[in-house]
Structure 1
Amino acid sequence: MCKEITIDEAVHYIKEGDTIMVGGFMTNGTPEYLIDALVEKGVKNLTLICNDAGFLDKGVGKMVANKQFSRIIASHIGLNREAGRQMTSGETRIDLVPQGTLIEQIRSGAFGLGGFLTPTGIGTLIEEGKQVIRVNERDYLLEEPLKADVALIFAHLADEKGNLQFKGSENNFNQMMAANAKTTIVEARKIVKAGEIDPNFIHTPGIFVDYLVQGGN
């Protein structure tokens, strides 16, 4: 069964108040066509889980500038001065999370784990409000899993059954986010027939993918 839909159909799955995960690292591997469609739709009061806040004119940064997020969970926002302005003014709640902790929270949410222990953040602001657990005479923070309503993913290749292949560092958060959300929508650079991707080089199996849209370069 082909999972391909149009961009316009895809954005209807994102509703006000949803939590969305968006792949990409400094916009590398971000589904730009889907982001542009969401900017045009103007859906608001979203929670964003992403590595960063993109740039003012690229990636999720365009949605930040359009004030579509009420909360952002990211590892840094330094490339987008508008995100910093919204944070300091109190317009948008922004939770800064160490990058390794962020991806592990996403992985925990994807695979049904109750959380994980990490020493990262002990003795810093990251520790505030979190449970500290001592194991073998060392303190760890209990970090809880993150879950999303919709994951927006970018892939280099997809077949009509939703099997995905990423290109180089475009993989970044995409593969793990694809396994996490209730609904996963993939923008693919190219969509091919089932069987055209070497199974040895499928990075995300189609069982995690709900819908595909045709992207671009």
Structure 2
Amino acid sequence: MFTQTHLLLGAAVYARPGNRAVALAGLVGALVPDTDVWLMFIIERLNGSSGCEVFHYRYWEPPWTTLQMALNSIPAYLALIATGLACIVFPGSKLRAFAIVLLAFASSALLHVCIDFLLHHDDARAQWMPFSGWVFRSPVSYWDPSYYGSAFVPFEIGLGLAFVTLVGRRFGNRRMWVILAILPLGYVGSIAAGQMSGGDHLRGPGSCEIIADREV
């Protein structure tokens, strides 16, 4: 899903009035698996790569592929959840408060990567590292028109707006409504970025020039 939908889902699941630590942990967990894409885009653009080159070429190269696998590792988040549970149930543990925050972070991140597991095709990641490099390519993509993306995008936008309504009503104050109203505006930029990474799926040096020639 788009990053803002993951954040809105994280808010819907973890954000409650009076528990800022858990809410923040849930939001950070919802964001972390996508930080590789944002870091890549910012750094590569600053280094002079075009938007097309970022998604058609750089996305598929180290160090970004390594960072993708690390931040989207299902075993890693399961290990964090196991650690949090151990801290809670271990007799005499004084780490209960920390463990609850850790569980919110890890479970939110795990929810993110499990949803993405079902919604990525050409851009799927090896989510079982370090135990396996196997990549599941879902028949459904959250953005790619070749894999039902045209149908899923409006569904996801509607889902995001539903989360905005749910969280806004839960908190019931104007400041929260303003914050929540900003996130859906990101769908415009996300759809534009999806178009940059779409096209004919050619990858590697020169692929963007080929696409430009075909458009002419």
Smaller-chain TM-score bracket: under 0.3
As a proportion of its length, which structure holds more helix? Answer: 2
Q: Which has the larger radius of gyration?
A: 2
Higher-strand-fraction structure:
1
Higher relative contact order (CA 8 A, sep 6+): 2
Instruction: Calculate the TM-score normalised by the size of structure 2.
Output: 0.24
